């Protein structure tokens, strides 16, 4: 199944599209090839993003995303990317989700450890009679 094919030869075909499906080696290889093409098309972006101390203004990020949409030819690139179940084994947030036995526990642990990977808003989780929410 081809989710999108661009004029530049990028495609997200045959990637697992269900969160329960494990990533396949072939899909991972295609994803890495696409990343390499995006790196070449968006010079300078990756150096900034790979520096953990670097802060990127929203206007700059927005311009980068617009360039990525132009490069890909996919008007709904964000929706496509959101549907790809890519879990980074070196990412703290992914580790919290992957090692939690339930969805609620992953949320609870995510709120607890959010300060490790984010320096913005502080999150909290409250139990109410209707369920749990983040105030």
Alpha-carbon gap, residue 51 to 66, rounded angstroms: 22
3 and 66 in a single domain? The answer is yes
Give the rounded distance of the alpha carbon of 88 from its chain centre: 9
95 and 89 in contact (C-beta within 8 Å)?
yes
**Do 81 and 32 fall into the same domain?**
yes
Exposure string over 31-54, b if 16+ CB within 10 A, otherwise e: eeebeeebeeeeeebeeeeeeeee
Co-location of 69 and 108 in the same domain: no
| Same-domain status, 29 and 60 | yes
Tell me, yes or no, whether 98 and 38 share the same domain.
no
* Same-domain pairing of 9 and 61: yes
How many separate domains does the chain show? 2
Statement to judge: residues 68 and 35 lie in one domain: yes
pLDDT of residue 118: 67
Looking at the structure, tell me whether residues 77 and 108 fall in a common domain. Answer: no
My answer on whether 12 and 68 are in the same domain is yes
Same domain (yes/no): 10, 72: yes
Same domain for 60 and 1 = yes
Q: Looking at the structure, tell me whether residues 110 and 59 fall in a common domain.
A: no
Domain that residue 124 falls in:
92-133
Of 25-34, 85-94, 97-106, 120-129, the one with minimum mean pLDDT is 25-34
Convert the pLDDT of each residue in 6-58 to its tens digit.
444 444 443 333 333 444 455 556 767 777 877 787 777 777 777 777 777 77
In the predicted structure, residue 106 carries a pLDDT above the cut 60? yes
């Amino acid at each position: 199944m081809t989710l999108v094919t661009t004029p530049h030869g990028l495609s997200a075909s045959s990637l697992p599209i269900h969160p329960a499906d494990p990533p396949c080696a072939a899909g991972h290889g295609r994803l890495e090839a696409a990343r390499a093409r995006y790196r070449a098309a968006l010079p300078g972006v990756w150096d900034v993003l790979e520096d953990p101390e670097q802060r990127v203004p929203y206007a700059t990020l927005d311009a980068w995303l617009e360039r990525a949409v132009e490069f890909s030819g996919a008007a709904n690139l964000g929706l496509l990317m959101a549907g790809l179940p890519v879990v980074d084994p070196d990412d703290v947030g992914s580790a919290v989700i992957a090692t939690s036995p339930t969805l609620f526990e992953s949320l609870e642990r995510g709120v607890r450890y959010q300060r490790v990977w984010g320096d913005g808003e502080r999150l909290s989780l409250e139990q109410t009679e209707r369920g749990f929410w983040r105030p």
